[in-house]
Structure 1
């Protein structure tokens, strides 16, 4: 078992897992959350979301060319 923890392949897999969660999974969840709850968020929820945006900014920047948070207007004009 000790040889498993000293294995560089296991370390590489662990790093890839953390990077995937940090750059892909959580930013996509943040985009989804903000898009669905933008107009109904309370002040503490909004403060928490802003903190998470600050924390996961690199992942959000990766998706920003492909996703947008344009608010749906009334359709007039």
Structure 2
């Protein structure tokens, strides 16, 4: 298959029929981002900005939490997002 025909088939997703490794690796990358990368970023973002978020930012973050809920559930038992209490000095 020539290079021109491969380039023409890429937008239609037909390149996976030529090389299934590309398709499987794309699924692995997207699945890893969905289950690991974005939920960990959301936990980090919420932990750092919980008290200073505006209403639209909070609404957007809650929407992302809903969208990436399976990944959030994976990490929820291992992460502690409780607020630090008033430290006695």
SS at match of 1:45: helix
Which digits, 9 at most, give the CA deviation of each residue in 1:7-51, with x for residues without a partner?
111111000000001000000000000000000000111000100
Name which one, 1 or 2, has greater alpha-carbon Rg.
2
Question: TM-score, normalising length from structure 1?
Answer: 0.89
Aligned to 2:22: 10
Question: TM-score, normalising length from structure 2?
Answer: 0.78
Deviation above 3 Å: which 4+ runs of structure 1? none
SS at match of 1:26: helix
SS at match of 1:74: coil
Q: Which runs of 5+ in 2 are unaligned?
A: 7-13
Larger RCO (CA within 8 A; separation ≥ 6): 1
